[in-house]
Amino acid sequence: MSKDHEVVPLLYDNDLEVGSYESLPREEKYLDEHEVPQGRHLGIFSTTVLFISRMVGSGIFSTPSNIFVSCGGNSFIFFTVWLLTALFAYAGLYIFLEFGYHLPRSGGRKVFLEHSFTHPKLLMSVTVACYSIFSGVALSGSVVFGKYFLAAIGYGSETYNAGNTSKYISIGFVVLATAIHGISVRSGIYIQNALGVVKLMLILMMCLTGFYAIMIYDAPTVTQWDSPFFSFQDKSAFSLNSLASAFISAFFCFAGWDSVHSVTSEVKNPARTLKISGLCSLAICALCYTLMNVAYTKVLSYEEIANAGPLVGSVLFKKLFGAQVGGALMTGSVAVSAASNVIVVIYGISRVNQEIFREGYLPFSKVLARNWPWDAPLFSLLTCALLTCTWIIILPSEGSSFNYLISVEGYGNQVFLLLVAVGLLLFRRQKTYQEHDNSIKASTLGVYSMILLCTYLVVGPFFGDQSANKIAFLPPYEVASVAILLSCVLFWFVKFIMLPFLFNYRLVSKTTTLSDGLRITEWKAYY
């Protein structure tokens, strides 16, 4: 096995703008320099499975309770939130497709932002990289898997809400998912696709559940279906703050539309593949979500929805199909769906982590970026697993902690989605963008609409009662997210600005090719 060796000294330094295209052709720079040893092995089916598995995970079976309560039990506002979220997800998908067409490499929003915001030098690259590492967790899916698994095998709510049993199960599955992808890339993809087929069956089950609830089921009690469509069940629970929380939770259910861009370097013909699989997956998920939400409002009362929390899907299935079929078979299917989601999320996050470690910003990046020991990025996978397990241990066991972690994840994503939308407008002004064909282009109206919505979701949570936004000793979710962001900015300032100034040295990057063919960047101090 050959030793690591440097191939490009002084690839770029403080005198060269980070994120510029330099003089290299687009194909050479992005389809050669940024290739990964795994190669391009993901076709339309695999990317569609990735999209669907990422979107249809735990969200639609866990967040509708929080969304409905945040809307004050108003069915009109509830369905309007879902409709607008689907439309904005479509707009956001095209923003990412346009970016991905011009920058066809793994990394997703990090790659897009660092090519849009080039000043101050390295600020955006380092900030997004650090935040992506710290927020790169598979929390929601693993938590829901633990709870639904216990519910499927017959344990009561006191076990998965008050005890730590579901936590142990969640941690155990995170470790298993890490091992699956860490031992073999292709075996991990095979298992991922196999679970994706189960996910497609679950989607069919969701559609049939919705049709059954609408056409056949006759609720024995008064439900939302019997209440005036525009009326509130609890108007005191509705505010601009709660509406922002509802949108963030709904966006969480559609969050997978941007996930596959994290592994673009492994996608065959990424422009065509991502466009076809992305649009089809989004349409399928939007239809299924609509049918499931109709089922929730027709079958369950406001009190049942509010009290169910993240297990609202299980409550629905039990009421529709009884304790045996609904409580075991259907709830178990949701657990499998959450498991598939965890495996896909860990796979995607590990590739983002690897791209970040390749940039060399963080300590021990050279080691953490390696495909070792089985030609898979095991250290990147372990980083995601360690952070996920840490959060699972820290968070209280009660149901409200689930809503908190969803909001923490969602708030940071909205900040970066806002920056990506603004960044696309800036990116379009660059000379290199104008020199290439623009066969994939997002609607300008959609871009500006996304900017307006994201601005509201970033600012809105700071207004109104903050007690609903925090849990236990943890600060409000928006404060926690902003604190993490600021700590990332502080890291950039200390490492790349303050220390070089105080000790009079320059940080210069060098590109090194590892023994497995992976190229990484190392930063050296020159006095």
**pLDDT tens digits for 216-235?**
777 776 666 767 788 888 88
The lowest-confidence range among 8-17, 42-51, 208-217, 396-405 is 8-17
The lowest-confidence range among 4-8, 70-74, 258-262, 319-323 is 4-8
Statement: the pTM of the whole predicted model exceeds 0.85: no
Q: What is the pLDDT of residue 42?
A: 72
The lowest-confidence range among 4-13, 397-406, 508-517 is 4-13
- Across the range 141-162, mean pLDDT stands at 74
Phi then psi dihedrals of residue 72, to 5 deg: 70, 20
As a dihedral over the C-alpha atoms of residue 105, residue 96, residue 185, residue 380, rounded to 10 degrees, the angle is: 80
Residue 171 has pLDDT above 90, yes or no: yes
How many angstroms separate the CA atoms of 231 and 77, rounded?
10
- % pLDDT > 70, the chain: 84
Residue 253 has pLDDT above 60, yes or no: yes
Q: Kindly give, in sequence order, each residue whose CB lies less than 8 Å from that of residue 424, ignoring residues fewer than 6 positions away.
A: 95, 98, 99, 112, 116, 442, 447
**Which helix (H) or strand (E) element contains residue 507?**
strand 506-513
How many angstroms separate the CA atoms of 495 and 365, rounded?
15
Strand order in the sheet with 519-526: 5-8, 506-513, 519-526
12 pLDDT band (50/70/90 cuts)? very low
37 pLDDT band (50/70/90 cuts)? low
CATH of domain 40-465: 1.20.1740.10
pLDDT tens digits, 103-116: 777 667 878 888 88
Residue 140 has pLDDT above 50, yes or no: yes
- Across the range 185-212, mean pLDDT stands at 78
Residue 84 has pLDDT above 90, yes or no: yes
Q: What is the pLDDT of residue 167?
A: 87
The lowest-confidence range among 76-85, 317-326, 346-355 is 317-326
- % pLDDT > 90, the chain: 18
Residue 437 has pLDDT above 70, yes or no: no
- Across the range 155-177, mean pLDDT stands at 78
311 pLDDT band (50/70/90 cuts)? confident
**Which helix (H) or strand (E) element contains residue 49?**
helix 44-55
36 or 447: which carries more pLDDT confidence? 447
- Across the range 359-387, mean pLDDT stands at 87
Reference 132, options 475, 415, 513, 398; nearest CA is 415
- Across the range 492-510, mean pLDDT stands at 91
Residue 266 has pLDDT above 80, yes or no: no
How many angstroms separate the CA atoms of 67 and 402, rounded?
13
433 pLDDT band (50/70/90 cuts)? low
199 or 422: which carries more pLDDT confidence? 422
30 pLDDT band (50/70/90 cuts)? very low
Q: What is the pLDDT of residue 259?
A: 65
Residue 292 has pLDDT above 50, yes or no: yes
Q: What is the pLDDT of residue 58?
A: 67
> Which one of 26-40, 233-247, 312-326 scores highest in mean pLDDT?
233-247
Reference 299, options 359, 221, 357; nearest CA is 221
How many angstroms separate the CA atoms of 64 and 74, rounded?
13
- Across the range 399-405, mean pLDDT stands at 73
Residue 27 has pLDDT above 70, yes or no: no
What rounded mean pLDDT belongs to the chain? 80
The lowest-confidence range among 84-98, 193-207, 292-306, 458-472 is 193-207
> Which one of 50-64, 189-203, 384-398 scores highest in mean pLDDT?
384-398
Q: What is the pLDDT of residue 460?
A: 85
Domain locations in the chain as residue ranges = 40-465
Q: What is the pLDDT of residue 435?
A: 63
DSSP string for 511-526: EEE-TTS-EEEEEEEE
Residue 38 has pLDDT above 70, yes or no: no
Residue 173 has pLDDT above 50, yes or no: yes
Residue 214 has pLDDT above 90, yes or no: no
Q: What is the pLDDT of residue 24?
A: 36
